[in-house]
C-alpha cells in the first residue's frame, strides 16, 4: 500500500541538492558501481532519469528485468506499485523507490476491503488484477496482468467469469477482445489517461491527418476507437516500427513516452494526443523523481520497500501466474 505520511513527517523526507546536474550524474554513476545497483526506469519518467537508467521499459518489461538482475540493490524509478512488484518477485533483494511520494491514483482506487465487496457481488468470478494495484490487493487476486499481456492473461484462464480490477478502461478494452467471456469490471481509472476525450484527439488528428494514432488501453473507449494501435508503452515502440513510411505519430499516453520514442526514432515526429504544448496527459507521480532523488536513494539507501511476508507470498503467486503468460505485443 502507498505509505501515508503525516504532513509533519513528510516534510522530513524532502531533500534538496544544489549540486549541478553533471555532478549529480557523476555521483550516481560512482554509487551505482560501488553498491552494485541497477537503475530501472519506467517510460514515463523524466528524460534525464530515462537517460541514465540501466533499463527503461513498461511495467511488464521492468518486472522481468527485476527478476533477471544480479545487482544487490534495485533502484526503481517509477511509482510505488512497480517497486513493490520488483520486491515481490525478488524478496531477497533490496528495492528502493527514490521518491516517497511516487504513488498511483489508480492503484489507490482499490483496497482489499473494496475488492472484497466486489467479490461478494460476483461470487465464483476469477479475479484478474492489473499490476497498477497494491501488494495487498494483488495478494487477494488470482492473477495479475499488465497492459502488455491483459488479453492473453484473460484468454489463458479456463474460466468464463472474470472480475477485472481496477481499471475500467483497460477492462472494457480486454472485454472487447475476448467477447466469449463474461467480464465484470471494477470502477477505477488512471486520471492521466481518462482525461483525454475523443473530440480532443480528433482535433489533433485534423491537424496531422496522415498521422498514425497510438493509444494506451487505459484511455477511454472514444479514444480507443480512433486509434490505429492500442498497446502498452513498450508496445508503442514496436508499433512505430510497424509503420516505416509514416512520418508522424499521435501518442495517447503520458508524455514521458515521447522522450523514449524520440530517442529510438529520431527521424519521426511525435505529437501529444491532446495537441496541447503543456500536455495534459501528465502523471504528477511519475514526474516526482528527479536526479537528486536517485542520488539520495543510492547514498542513503532509501526508501526501501518493505512488505509483510504473507503479502509477498500471496502477491507473488498472482504475479508468477502472470509471468507464465506470453506478452500480447
Binding interface with ligand 13P (CB under 6 A): 43, 58-59, 132, 146-148, 190, 218, 232-233
Nearer to ligand 13P, 134 or 292 (CB): 134
Q: H/E element holding 309?
A: helix 309-323
Nearer to ligand 13P, 24 or 273 (CB): 273
The backbone torsions φ and ψ at residue 167, rounded to the nearest 5 degrees and listed phi first, read -90, 115
Nearer to ligand 13P, 2 or 233 (CB): 233
Closest distance to ligand 13P from the beta carbon of 227 (Å): 14
Nearer to ligand 13P, 85 or 292 (CB): 85
Closest distance to ligand 13P from the beta carbon of 282 (Å): 12
Closest distance to ligand 13P from the beta carbon of 255 (Å): 12
Nearer to ligand 13P, 233 or 292 (CB): 233
Contact status, residue 256 vs residue 46, Cβ threshold 8 Å: yes
Residue 105: all three cell numbers together: 491514483
Q: For 123, what's the count of Cα atoms within 13 Å in the CB-facing half-sphere?
A: 1
d(CA 2, CA 48): 25
d(CA 326, CA 329): 9
Nearer to ligand 13P, 61 or 295 (CB): 61
Nearer to ligand 13P, 141 or 292 (CB): 141
Nearer to ligand 13P, 140 or 328 (CB): 328
DSSP 326: P
Angle 87-21-76 from CA coordinates, rounded to 5°? 5
Closest distance to ligand 13P from the beta carbon of 179 (Å): 23
- With H, G, I as helix, E, B as strand and everything else as coil, classify residue 169: helix
Write down the residue that cell numbers 533490496 correspond to.
Answer: 94
- With H, G, I as helix, E, B as strand and everything else as coil, classify residue 172: helix
Contact status, residue 87 vs residue 327, Cβ threshold 8 Å: no
Closest distance to ligand 13P from the beta carbon of 218 (Å): 5
Write down the residue that cell numbers 496527459 correspond to.
Answer: 281
d(CA 211, CA 3): 42
With both helix axes pointing from N to C terminus, report the angle between 233-241 and 256-264 in degrees, rounded to the nearest 10.
30
Closest distance to ligand 13P from the beta carbon of 251 (Å): 12
d(CA 165, CA 187): 8
With both helix axes pointing from N to C terminus, report the angle between 59-68 and 309-323 in degrees, rounded to the nearest 10.
110
Nearer to ligand 13P, 96 or 107 (CB): 107
Closest distance to ligand 13P from the beta carbon of 81 (Å): 8
Contact status, residue 153 vs residue 173, Cβ threshold 8 Å: no
Contact status, residue 285 vs residue 104, Cβ threshold 8 Å: yes
Closest distance to ligand 13P from the beta carbon of 217 (Å): 8
Closest distance to ligand 13P from the beta carbon of 312 (Å): 21
Amino acid at each position: 500500500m502507498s505509505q501515508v505520511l503525516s504532513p509533519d513527517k513528510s516534510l522530513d523526507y524532502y531533500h534538496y541538492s544544489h549540486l549541478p546536474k553533471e555532478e549529480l550524474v557523476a555521483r550516481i554513476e560512482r554509487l551505482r558501481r560501488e553498491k552494485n545497483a541497477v537503475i530501472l526506469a519506467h517510460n514515463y519518467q523524466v528524460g534525464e532519469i530515462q537517460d541514465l537508467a540501466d533499463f527503461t521499459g513498461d511495467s511488464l518489461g521492468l518486472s522481468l528485468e527485476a527478476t533477471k538482475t544480479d545487482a544487490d540493490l534495485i533502484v526503481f524509478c517509477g511509482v510505488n506499485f512497480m517497486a513493490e512488484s520488483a520486491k515481490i518477485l525478488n524478496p531477497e533483494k533490496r528495492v528502493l523507490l527514490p521518491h516517497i511520494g511516487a504513488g498511483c491514483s489508480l492503484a489507490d482506487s482499490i483496497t482489499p476491503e473494496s475488492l472484497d465487496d466486489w467479490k461478494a457481488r460476483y461470487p465464483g468470478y476469477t479475479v484478474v488484477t492489473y499490476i497498477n494495484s497494491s501488494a495487498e490487493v494483488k495478494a487477494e487476486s488470482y492473477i495479475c496482468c499488465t497492459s502488455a499481456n491483459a488479453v492473453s492473461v484473460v484468454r489463458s484462464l479456463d474460466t468464463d467469469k472474470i472480475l477485472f480490477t481496477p481499471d475500467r478502461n483497460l477492462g472494457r478494452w480486454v472485454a472487447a477482445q475476448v467477447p466469449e467471456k463474461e467480464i465484470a469490471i471494477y470502477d477505477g481509472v488512471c486520471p492521466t489517461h481518462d482525461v483525454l476525450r475523443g473530440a480532443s484527439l480528433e482535433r489533433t488528428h485534423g491537424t496531422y491527418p496522415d498521422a498514425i494514432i497510438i493509444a494506451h488501453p487505459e484511455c477511454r473507449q472514444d479514444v480507443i476507437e480512433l486509434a490505429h494501435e492500442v498497446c502498452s508503452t513498450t508496445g508503442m515502440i514496436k508499433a512505430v516500427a510497424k509503420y516505416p513510411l509514416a512520418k508522424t505519430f499521435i501518442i495517447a499516453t503520458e508524455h514521458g513516452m515521447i522522450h523514449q520514442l524520440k530517442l529510438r526514432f529520431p527521424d519521426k515526429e511525435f505529437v501529444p494526443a491532446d495537441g496541447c504544448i503543456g500536455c495534459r496527459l501528465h502523471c504528477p507521480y511519475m514526474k516526482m523523481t528527479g536526479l537528486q532523488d536517485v542520488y539520495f536513494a543510492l547514498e542513503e539507501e532509501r526508501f526501501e520497500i518493505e512488505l509483510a511476508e504473507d503479502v509477498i507470498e500471496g502477491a507473488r503467486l498472482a504475479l508468477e501466474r502472470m509471468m507464465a503468460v506470453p506478452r500480447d505485443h
